[in-house]
Structure 1
Amino acid sequence: MLDLNSKNIQLQFEGFCNTPSLWNNADIFDLQQFHIKNNSTSIFEGEIPKYLRLGKRVERFVAHQLKQDITISILAENVQIQQEKITVGEIDFIIKENQTPIHLEIVYKFYLYDETTGKTEIEHFIGPNKRDSLLQKLTKLQQQQLPLLYNTNTKKLLNKLNLNSTEIVQKVLFKAQLFLPYNCKTPELKQLNSDCIKGYFISFVELSNFSKCKFYIPEKVNWLQEIQTQVHWLTFESFLPKASIYIEQKTSPLCWVKQPNGEVLKIFIVWW
């Protein structure tokens, strides 16, 4: 029988597998999506330290999936590129798919749709705490992370792999969970994948509308999971002071909410 930590890791992996790519058909910002062929959920067999943060967990999950594909070989993974002992960046993966070398960057994000931010679909999606945005991440990928392949300090790695940067295709595996304002008309997404919509967000002052509901606050690494119903649900009265601590710290918690009719929701409670 799995211990609690191992069970949570497996549920995180399953949640990751079930998260769609943020876009499918057209490239966004000239960023080409990499699609793992065999996306069926399997048993995660790797080791993950208890305190490994969410983004690094996702990279372990991707490595596990890549290893299941006989057409793919991993040539390099999580390589820090240094200039005179100063890290200038990190290459997530260099792989070969059949005979094609690929530089692959991994992204897993949570974004909220705020129509008051920016003017375009891309600009409307921001981080739960307004400290980052989809636009910022796409720009960083395009202008910093992918160009690292052509940095002179990366040549040592490529020489070791007997590769030339000009022959390497660059792709991203960009997955995300999207959250919409509660009780608002669902926006029609034209660039992004609407299957990524996983829940809603509300302001702290709107919480009274959920006074008949029960709540659970998962750890951040468990934001990857689908909602689990066998948890210690809190009543509204018990939940409120816990939520207020997050709000006072200007942190927007992700909560699982069980409604009186038994339906469950993922909801961010935002401090702003």
Structure 2
Amino acid sequence: MAPSLMRSAAPSFDALVPAFSASTCSLDVSAVSPAHRRLGLYYEDLIGTLLSGALPCDPLSVRRNVQCAQAGITAGEFDFLYRSTEQWFHLETAVKFYLCCGDGSALEHFVGPGRRDRLDIKWQRLQQHQLRLASHPVGRECLDRLGIRNVHSQLLMPGYLFYRAGAEVPGSTLHREISPRHQQGWWLPLRDLELLPASRDHRYAILSKLRWLAPARLADDQALDWHALREQLVARAGPALVVQLSCVPVSGSRNRWCETGRGFVVPDDWEPTVLESRIQSRRH
């Protein structure tokens, strides 16, 4: 399973449930049909499937999306409550993709491709609200109704951090909360697309959002050469997640193209300062 973006989150799903084993409880992401258009909800579906497969066949051992409300007061929602080895856990999940627009020394340097999200804001929300729900009076009352005691809160937060193509990836300057094992990619404005190789050995694809979680594997006729990629990107209005592909010969069939890297291509006028102005306007 994909590693976490943050040091203080669970390293991966494997580390959460002792009973989980990649050899006995593996999950093909493509085999789980998306029931939602939002990537975060699709990711929750995948985690729910994994938890149900890894834990005993007790329907009450895993509870999902438990609302915490009392007398008209809504404190929040538990993404998951699950029981493993006689211990109850509260699991929050998030899968995030951020572009680094600085030297990586501050969490605010990491901005979502749609400029509506930022890592420091998300991290503060998780730490100060979502992961503290079990200790909130309404959250505790909700757990009491379910007969759940001594809950241990956990966070699962995989994803990618993307660094400007052609620039040095931050090392010692990277913010201390970011895990050194996080998955990395690149980003560039459309005007710098020439930084991507255009030889016959390289192919590309633009992934729709619900395909961002798994490494891409495409048939020969689905892969784009550099010129076809540029043509499609010019016709788009917003950021696009592009995967780089290499050919893997498959006996008895057409070539298969497998992902070797990924990154965001953004419009030339994409500016992270737009997000900052929106945040400031909400504060006043």
TM-score, normalization by structure 1: 0.74
- Match for 1:42: what amino acid? S
* 1:194 aligned counterpart, secondary structure: coil
What count of residue pairs does the alignment treat as equivalent? 243
Provide structure 2 residue ranges, at least 5 long, that are not aligned to the other structure.
248-256, 271-284
Q: Using a 3 Å threshold, how does the CA distance of structure 1 residues 132 and 233 change in structure 2: closer, same or farther?
A: same
Rate the CA distance shift 1:205–1:158 in 2: closer, same or farther, 3 A.
Answer: same
Choose which of 187, 205, 227 in structure 2 pairs with 1:201.
187
Contact 1:74 1:93 in 2 (8 A): no
Stretch moving more, 107-116 or 207-216: 207-216
C-alpha change, 1:205 and 1:84, in structure 2 (3 Å) is: farther
For 1:115, the equivalent position in structure 2 comes to 102
Give 2:83's aligned residue.
96
Q: CA shift at 1:107, angstroms?
A: 1.1
Task: Look up the match of 1:7.
Answer: none
Tell me what 2:264 maps to: 268
Residue number in structure 1 paired with 2:223: 233
Deviations 1:43-100 (A, max 9, x none): 4598644544221121122122223334797342112334567865321011222122
| Alignment partner, residue 168 of structure 2 | 185
Q: Could you say if the C-alpha distance between residues 95 and 50 of structure 1 is closer, same or farther in structure 2, counting changes exceeding 3 Å?
A: closer
Q: TM-score, normalised by structure 2?
A: 0.71
- Mapped pair 1:22 → 2:5: yes
**3-state SS of 2:178 partner:** coil
Letter in 1 for 2:156: L
Contiguous gaps of at least 5 residues in structure 1: 1-16
Structure (1/2) with the larger helix percentage: 1
Contact 1:227 1:266 in 2 (8 A): no
Aligned to 1:219: 208
Pick closer, same or farther for the CA change 1:205–1:44 going to 2, 3 Å.
closer
1:115-137 Cα deviation digits (max 9, x unpaired): 167x52x3332212332121111
% same residue? 26
- Runs of 4+ aligned residues of structure 1 deviating over 6 Å after TM superposition are none
SS in 1 for 2:65: strand
Deviations 1:204-252 (A, max 9, x none): 1101333725431111110111131426122333332421343x3xx31
Once residues 125 and 232 of structure 1 are traced to their aligned partners in structure 2, the CA distance between those partners, rounded to angstroms, is: 31
Local SS of the residue matching 2:68: strand
Alignment correspondent of 1:143: 128
Query: In structure 1, what is the Cα distance between the partners aligned to 2:170 and 2:152?
Result: 34
CA distance in 2, matches of 1:215, 1:70: 39
Q: Which amino acid aligns with 1:219?
A: S
Q: CA RMSD in A?
A: 3.3
Aligned residue in 1 for 2:242: 255
Amino acid at match of 1:205: R
**227 and 48 in structure 1: CA distance in 2 versus 1, 3 angstrom threshold:** closer
Aligned CA distance change for structure 1 residues 203 and 47 (closer, same or farther; 3 Å): closer
**Residue-by-residue CA offset, 1:8-53 (whole Å, 9 max, x unaligned):** xxxxxxxxx2x112235xx3xxx66672343516145986445442
Conserved in 2, the CA contact under 8 Å of 1:44 and 1:64? no
SS in 1 for 2:81: strand
Partner of 2:274: none
Matches of 2:182 and 2:10 in 1, distance apart?
18
CA distance in 1, matches of 2:235, 2:154: 40
Q: Deviations over 1:153-200 (max 9, x none)?
A: 435531332134xx2221111112222221222211454233323321
Deviation at 1:142, TM superposition (A): 1.5
